[in-house]
Amino acid sequence: MSRIAAFIFRRKGRNGWHWTDIVTWIWLVGGLLIMFGPAVWLVGSSFKSPAALAEFPPTILPYVTQKATVEGYDKPLDLYDATLPDGSKAVLAEVRRIGVISQMVDPEKPGEIIKVNISQRTPVRTMAFATTNYTEPFTQFDFVRYLWNSVFVTVTATLITLVVNSMAAFALSKYEFRGRTFAMLLILATLMVPLSVIMVPLYSIVSALGLFNNLWGVILPTVATPTGVFILRQYMLTIPDELIDAARMDKASEWQIYWRIVLPLTAPALAVLAIFSVVWRWNDFLWPLIVLSRKELYTLQVGLSIYSGELNVQWHFILAMTVVTMIPVVLVFIFLQRFITTGIAGTGLK
Amino acid sequence: MKAETPRPAGSGFGEAIMVPVRLAMGLVDAPLRWVQRRLGIGGMAAFFLLPNMLIFGIFVLLPFFINFAYSMTGGTALFLDDRTFVGTDQYARLFDCSNYIDPNSCTEDTFWTAVGNTAWFVVLQVTLMILFSLITALILNRELMARSFWRAVFFFPVLLSPVVVGLIWKWILQRQGLLNFALYGFGFEPYTWLNDRNWAFAAAVGVSIWAHMGFYTLILLAGLQAIPKDLYEAAEMDGTRPARAFWRITLPLLMPNLLVVIVLVLIRAVQIFDEVYVLTGGGPGTSTLYLTQYIYETGFATQLRNPGLAAAASILMGMVLVVLTLIQLGLGRSSEKKGSRK
Amino acid sequence: MGHIKLTNVIKSFGAIDVLHGINLEINDGEFVVFVGPSGCGKSTLLRTIAGLEKPTGGDLAIDGKVVNDVAAADRGLAMVFQSYALYPHMSVRQNLAFGLENTRMPQAEIAERIAEAARMLEIEPYLDRRPGQLSGGQRQRVAIGRAIVRRPVAFLLDEPLSNLDAELRGSTRAELAALHARLSATMIYVTHDQVEAMTLADRIVVLRAGRIEQIGTPLELYNRPANRFVAGFIGSPHMNFLEGAVEAVHPQKAVATLVGGHRLEFPVAGATIETGSRITLGVRPQHISLGSGENSIPAKIRLVEALGSETVLHADVAGQKILVVAPGQHDLSPGLDISLSLSTAPIHLFNEKGLRL
Ligand SMILES: Nc1ncnc2c1ncn2[C@@H]1O[C@H](COP(=O)(O)OP(=O)(O)OP(=O)(O)O)[C@@H](O)[C@H]1O
Ligand SMILES: [Mg+2]
């Protein structure tokens, strides 16, 4: 153990602990708890039954109270470890509770009621994962629809984003034409017009186009991202112009040059943009909330927020669905984190 | 990023996907060759630019301009044609206060509450965000084991959706939540944090920092790693103490990045909405009602919606954002120049 | 099938005029080399012929047809780029096939042409590699192969050997010459390197600042440069120029006083020379010999470069620099006064404007 610790805490070039080393490790370990803790807690909670969720203090792992069907009683009864008045211990089922007195029966001998003070009994609990939290929203609610809507929006918007932005980036990086600077400035200027500033008129335009309550109304306004054009253009500028001349001499049409020469060579930048686009579109909230008012069109994010805003929140479902909503992004995080972090560090894109 | 690195040979799956794509692209080629003959090579540039420009035009520029028209009209009708022209009435309404120090004396008191809340939020959130992300970046820039792991730790929440972030924390901060559980261990009574005006505000600030800190940490870390190590070695040779090295080397050299990050954080803090909306819904009361939510609710959500008023408010917010963005672009430009001079 | 004619071709990029009225006729099967200092417009001229740049003025005709408005792809030309411009994401085979596929050629014929070109250029072993996995020389062959498979009416080559090391450049040069003989196609070749120009060209076009200075066979340019610029540009080391004034003109020869006062006799060979006019005498370093005697001038040695087979002397003739290449090895050292003999040297005469007399 101490060898491992020595290895982990090894610091280059210096011996002994400086106060900054202590601060560093407190910060890092604290960060680990604060950054991952909530998500882990969410996942843990999502497997708890409604009864376990209502408990305070909560348990770390999901437990349920064991039940037993006892002859003469319709419903299954909760089992308790009870200390009997004579001091002996037994596993009893609770029939009802009156004040501090619990009326219990021995499952083996259902005829006889035993009265136990509630401080003398503790529930018999076993660990159990309430997977119905996950299955029920899909079977009883519209979550399959929401999931499908989210996937559709994310995939379609990402594909269109890639095509439209790479075409624009190609035009802006490999052609000389009048108005090129103007087009660049125009695209740059749109950085200054976030959704929160134009949502009212944008809503009217989308409605006028008949895209209100339509997934395309969610998709189209998002696909021309200035950031996308800029990363792709930056990358395409590194492709030598001679390559394009060579293709022209090879009788390639401009369209062929675009998709057979430039696109394949831009693959790394396209991948970065694709990852970002997936995360952005999957996470979009305000705009879908505005455009989609029919339940069957909700994306996961909208559905979740609407359900969680209801008066009688069914937390066990909400938590499970939150986990489902998190999954794609967590997968991206696990497998493509490196791509993203270098992408951000390199381009400062949001 | 270099263009010349050969890609790994296409996998079977990739090849399979490429077949229909290739077919489609090939089919498009013949008509496009015709277009190219008509337009010439230069004209093809316009063709490639067209889809993007169309989408920008329809969904960004057009709304941007008609926003001004909206802000000059009244009523609840959706389309401009059906709306009545009211001149600057909406702006007058926003600014109609009997006592300019007290938001409650204004006709649109919620607007001013939202402005006040947003201002406080921006001040607190930006300060703390910069502080935390700078400290984290400095720590990640030390000689660490598994640096990329730790970097990933702080980056993780950045990818989560605002709704997920809001729900996670709503769950933690509720009465039977993790926070009360943790405090219970120290003998505190459970408390409904989000029903308390001040704690709800603090939660909004804290949660938004939690969610976005990793992003700025990453940019600052990139800036720190760009500072040549030999500068520190030289300083050490000169007997400079670490604190002094920080103030005299790290901070000045990081300044361009830091400024860009500050403005970025500002721009996003002004627009704060999603995660707080899910977390608190703007409550309790109006204690976490921010500008974007005000615009959203005025424009869409309430029964007595008033798109004109929402547009006027959004234009005021837009002006702040334009100024901030211009500052950011200016900073980006100057730091780029510095970078290229090296 | 490869006759190219340029009439008064002008090219400008915005306000920058790069080509000022180029007139040039290239015959079928000819190997023409464009030389000139960097930035003189060689590449621009080549790219204009290729159709990658549109001329601002003038006409360009291929096989008698004006092709000003014909796209690069439809001119039937092939180009080899300085950077090779191989498609990095395609295998060598795909690189060669790309242009043919674009003409909708049947697969069987494509395969046949690739096989033939690969055999000719000995690149068969690498057909399935990507350009990134090839050496510079191999890439260069692929670039030429890509042009060959197209069976173009003319090949345009922009400094194709400049990225190779000296030895490889030499051998590839010989192969190119053989290739030209074999394909007997028109080739237009741009280079900085005058050895390439001299050895490969049927005719050389010397360009300066967007204008043609002279067109001629390598030996014409060497023996009868039309002006001081061409004289200085062709030949290595470059020609010596001695400034002076004409003192006297006789039927067969004339006498000049060089700057610094030395007198030098030179043959006039039909040129009209006026007494008293300023004149430049051009002498190639190889044609000057060491030794006194008739028609010799004194010089001071500044630097001695012993190359073994020959010795290059940098010397000073009354303030004018002069270069001498003397065969063999000589025991000379800087600071020594020597005498240079020009009695057997062909002397080129240029007037004040630099034109050949
Ligand atoms: N696209 C362009 N826009 C503006 N000026 C250009 C462009 N292309 C070339 N030029 C200019 O035209 C002139 C000739 O360029 P060109 O490339 O033809 O020279 P070159 O003779 O090939 O030189 P080198 O031997 O260095 O390759 C140069 O001054 C160059 O700056
Ligand atoms: Mg050139």
Is residue C236 predicted with pLDDT exceeding 90? no
Residues of the domain holding A37: 2-44
Average pLDDT over residues C52-67: 90
Q: Are B11 and A248 in contact (CB under 8 A)?
A: no
How far is the C-alpha of A331 from the C-alpha of A346, rounded, in Å?
A: 22
A166 and A259 together in one domain: yes
C223 and C285 together in one domain: no
| Predicted local confidence at residue A243, as pLDDT | 93
Chain B residues with CB under 8 Å of C71 CB are 41
Q: Domain count of chain C?
A: 2
pLDDT interval class at A246 (50, 70, 90)? very high
CA torsion through residues B305, B309, B310, B311, sign = positive
Residues 28-67 of C with CB under 8 A from B: none
Q: Domain count of chain A?
A: 3
| Predicted local confidence at residue A13, as pLDDT | 47
| Predicted local confidence at residue C108, as pLDDT | 93
The larger pLDDT score, comparing residue C292 to residue A211, is at A211
C256 and C177 together in one domain: no
C245 and C227 together in one domain: no
Q: Is residue A212 part of a domain?
A: yes
A279 and A236 together in one domain: yes
C201 and A CB contact within 8 Å: no
| Predicted local confidence at residue B209, as pLDDT | 94
Give SS3 for C227: strand
A85 and A191 together in one domain: no
Last residue of a domain, one of C197, C218, C233: C233
What CATH number is given to the structural domain containing A207?
Answer: 1.10.3720.10
Q: Could you read off the pLDDT of C66-87 as tens digits, one per residue?
A: 998 888 888 889 999 988 899 9
Closest residue by Cα to residue B290 from B224, B208, B226 = B208
* Cα–Cα distance list, C308 to A274, C63, C195, C302, C305 (Å): 64, 50, 21, 19, 9
Verify whether the Cβ–Cβ distance A167 to B52 is below 8 Å: yes
A324 and A222 together in one domain: yes
Last residue of a domain, one of C174, C206, C233: C233
Q: Is residue C329 part of a domain?
A: yes
C244 and C335 together in one domain: yes
Pocket flag, ligand 1, residue C6 (CB < 6 Å): no
Q: Is B305 left (phi over 0), alpha (psi -120 to 50) or beta?
A: beta
Q: Are A149 and A302 in contact (CB under 8 A)?
A: no
Chain C residues with CB under 8 Å of B3 CB are 88
Last residue of a domain, one of C233, C268, C288: C233
A175 and A276 together in one domain: yes
Residues of the domain holding C74: 4-233
Packing angle, helices B62-71 and B307-341, rounded to 10: 140
pLDDT interval class at A56 (50, 70, 90)? low
With a pLDDT cut of 90, the percent of chain A lying above it is 19
Verify whether the Cβ–Cβ distance A201 to B153 is below 8 Å: no
Q: Is residue A328 part of a domain?
A: yes
A184 Cα–ligand 2 center, Å: 30
Task: Classify residue B6 by its DSSP letter.
Answer: P
CA distance B7 to chain C (A): 7
C320 and C180 together in one domain: no
Chain B residues with CB under 8 Å of A348 CB are 219, 260, 332
Q: Is A342 left (phi over 0), alpha (psi -120 to 50) or beta?
A: alpha
What is the atom index within ligand 1 of the atom nearest the CA of C192?
A: 25
Is residue C112 predicted with pLDDT exceeding 90? yes
Task: Classify residue B177 by its DSSP letter.
Answer: S
What is the atom index within ligand 1 of the atom nearest the CA of C41?
A: 18
Subunits with 3+ C-beta pairs closer than 8 A to C: A, B
Buried b (16+ CB within 10 A) or exposed e, C191-210: bebbebbbebbbbbbbbbeb
Q: Is residue B287 part of a domain?
A: yes
Q: Domain count of chain B?
A: 1
Helix-then-strand count for chain B, H and E: 14, 2
A25 and A69 together in one domain: no
A244 Cα–ligand 1 center, Å: 17
Residues 229-268 of A with CB under 8 A from C: 240, 242-243, 245-253, 256, 260-261, 264-265
Q: Is residue B315 part of a domain?
A: yes
| Predicted local confidence at residue B3, as pLDDT | 40
C205 and C272 together in one domain: no
Q: Is residue A58 part of a domain?
A: no
C64 and C154 together in one domain: yes
What CATH number is given to the structural domain containing B118?
Answer: 1.10.3720.10
The pTM score is 0.83
A111 and A142 together in one domain: no
Is residue A58 predicted with pLDDT exceeding 90? no
Per-residue pLDDT of chain B (342 residues; tens, 9 = 90+): 334 444 444 445 667 777 887 788 778 888 888 888 888 888 888 899 999 999 998 998 899 898 888 888 877 777 777 777 777 777 777 777 777 677 677 777 788 888 889 999 999 999 999 999 999 999 898 887 888 888 888 988 988 999 999 999 988 888 777 887 777 778 777 788 888 888 899 999 999 999 999 989 988 988 888 888 888 778 777 777 777 888 888 888 888 888 888 888 988 899 899 889 988 888 788 888 898 998 898 888 767 788 888 888 899 888 888 888 888 777 766 655 544 333
Q: Is residue C337 part of a domain?
A: yes
Element (H, E) at C233: helix C228-233
Q: Is residue B10 part of a domain?
A: no
Pocket flag, ligand 1, residue C191 (CB < 6 Å): no
| Predicted local confidence at residue B12, as pLDDT | 57
Chain C residues with CB under 8 Å of A263 CB are none
B241 and C CB contact within 8 Å: no
Q: Is residue B74 part of a domain?
A: no
Phi, psi for C74 (deg, rounded to 5): -100, 10
Chain B residues with CB under 8 Å of A232 CB are none
Name which of C48, C82, C87, C100 to mutate to probe chain A: the one with the most chain A Cβ atoms within 10 A of its Cβ: C87
Q: Is residue C356 part of a domain?
A: no
| Predicted local confidence at residue B339, as pLDDT | 42
C85 and C33 together in one domain: yes
Q: Are B136 and B158 in contact (CB under 8 A)?
A: no
Q: Is residue C70 part of a domain?
A: yes
Packing angle, helices A315-347 and A267-283, rounded to 10: 150
A247 and A290 together in one domain: yes
- The residue length of chain B stands at 342
Average pLDDT over residues C206-218: 92
C47 Cα–ligand 2 center, Å: 10
Element (H, E) at C244: strand C240-249
Pocket flag, ligand 1, residue C43 (CB < 6 Å): yes
A30 and A79 together in one domain: no
Whole-angstrom distance between the N-terminal and C-terminal Cα of chain B? 19
Residues of the domain holding B119: 108-341
How far is the C-alpha of A194 from the C-alpha of B179, rounded, in Å?
A: 35
C246 and C133 together in one domain: no
Closest residue by Cα to residue A250 from C110, C99, C76, C88 = C99
Question: Whose C-alpha lies nearest to ligand 1, atom 12?
Answer: C18
A246 and A171 together in one domain: yes
Last residue of a domain, one of A83, A98, A127: A127
Whole-angstrom distance between the N-terminal and C-terminal Cα of chain C? 38
Q: Could you read off the pLDDT of A185-239 as tens digits, one per residue?
A: 888 878 778 888 888 889 889 988 888 889 999 999 999 888 889 889 988 998 9
Q: Is residue A248 part of a domain?
A: yes
Is residue A131 predicted with pLDDT exceeding 90? no
| Predicted local confidence at residue C142, as pLDDT | 92
What CATH number is given to the structural domain containing C247?
Answer: 2.40.50.140
Q: Could you read off the pLDDT of A156-188 as tens digits, one per residue?
A: 999 999 999 999 999 999 998 888 888 888 888
Q: Are B291 and B62 in contact (CB under 8 A)?
A: no
Is residue A6 predicted with pLDDT exceeding 60? no
Q: Quickly tell me which residue has 């649109």 as its tokens.
A: B108
How many CA atoms lie less than 13 Å away from A331 in the CB half-sphere? 8
Which residues are CB-contacts of A156 (< 8 A; sequence separation ≥ 6)?
Answer: A215, A219
Six-digit token string for A262: 């430039």
What is the atom index within ligand 1 of the atom nearest the CA of C42?
A: 21
A141 and A115 together in one domain: no
Closest residue by Cα to residue C297 from C249, C354, C347 = C347
C26 and C154 together in one domain: yes
Q: Is residue C277 part of a domain?
A: yes
Verify whether the Cβ–Cβ distance C130 to B3 is below 8 Å: no
Give the nearest chain A residue to B314 (CA atoms).
Answer: A197
A202 and A336 together in one domain: yes
The larger pLDDT score, comparing residue A60 to residue C110, is at C110
A72 Cα–ligand 2 center, Å: 100
Q: Is residue B63 part of a domain?
A: no
Give the nearest chain C residue to A261 (CA atoms).
Answer: C87
Q: Is residue A51 part of a domain?
A: no
| Predicted local confidence at residue C91, as pLDDT | 92
Pocket flag, ligand 1, residue C41 (CB < 6 Å): yes
Task: Classify residue C319 by its DSSP letter.
Answer: T
| Predicted local confidence at residue A112, as pLDDT | 76
Six-digit token string for A121: 């009994």
C151 and C259 together in one domain: no
Q: Is residue A320 part of a domain?
A: yes
